[in-house]
Amino acid sequence: MITDIEAAKIPLIFVILKIYIKILNSKVYKSNMKILAVQNRMGIGDTVIFLPYIKAISQKFRVPVSLLVKENSKADQFLNQSNYIDKIIILERIKNKNSRHDGILGSFKLANDLRKHKFDKIFIFNSSLRFNLIAKLAGIKDVHQYPLFKKTNQHITQPAKDLIKQSLKSEITSNPEIQIDQDLIESAISKFDIKNNQLNILHVIAWLYLFSENLCFTSSTTYGPLVTLSKSPPARGKLIIICSPTNTVSS
């Protein structure tokens, strides 16, 4: 026969069990969560600038984040080994060309493309109503975006900081990070004859906005690559990458 004390414990057991199931479901949901970040600015440099915010999203929800970027961002070439990046989806919009995602019909095509991925959340790093509507047409319920209709004279990074602070309750202080496979690093060390006791300089053709006095990319190896734009002189035994705003190479 059940005593009064034992009977009183039964509802408590159900409450505890309900909480446990809720926590378990939350963990399963997070592990299966699909998140998309939209960075539709042109070029490599713009993509690099937004990496700390994308990585913060990945760390918050403990899943890699997919990117919607333009082809000239080259994200599929230099972010394909970063563990906080999932899929890289190309936004097919090229100026003065009738691209697949241009115009009203292109918006529906893009929404249909995104719908196939079944994203749960989207972070839109712009103030475009177009992308907001595309996200909803794609069936993405949880939309995080800059304030709409405020593109004019918009600062390149401050709205991103505000978005992450508001959405994730987090302040971004980290530098952009590009992860590179160790085998590729060792291959580059051998190919370019990089010495441990020398200052090695590699000239890279790329656009990078110098929005910080200390913008650096590091890997787990002693050699780098290390990109430094700081005032202090670089240490020897590092691979220093100098970026120049040009798209041509003179031999």
Question: In the prediction, which pLDDT does 126 show?
Answer: 94
Question: In the prediction, which pLDDT does 183 show?
Answer: 81
Question: In the prediction, which pLDDT does 220 show?
Answer: 34
Contact yes or no for 48/79 (Cβ under 8 A): no
Alpha carbon distance 249, 158 (integer Å): 33
Alpha carbon distance 72, 179 (integer Å): 20
- Tens of each residue's pLDDT in the chain, 251 residues: 555 555 555 566 666 766 666 665 555 445 689 999 999 988 888 888 999 999 999 999 999 999 999 988 888 888 888 899 999 999 998 776 788 898 899 999 999 999 999 999 999 999 999 999 999 999 999 999 999 988 888 888 899 999 999 999 988 888 887 887 778 778 877 877 777 766 655 544 333 333 333 333 333 333 333 333 333 344 444 444 444 333 333 32
Question: In the prediction, which pLDDT does 228 show?
Answer: 36
The beta strand positions in the chain, using DSSP E, are: 35-39, 65-70, 85-91, 121-124, 142-145, 200-205, 239-244
Alpha carbon distance 85, 51 (integer Å): 10
Rg from Cα positions in the chain: 23
Tokens of 50: 């937004």
Question: In the prediction, which pLDDT does 194 show?
Answer: 73
**All domains of the chain in start order, with CATH:** 33-168 (3.40.50.2000), 180-251 (no CATH)
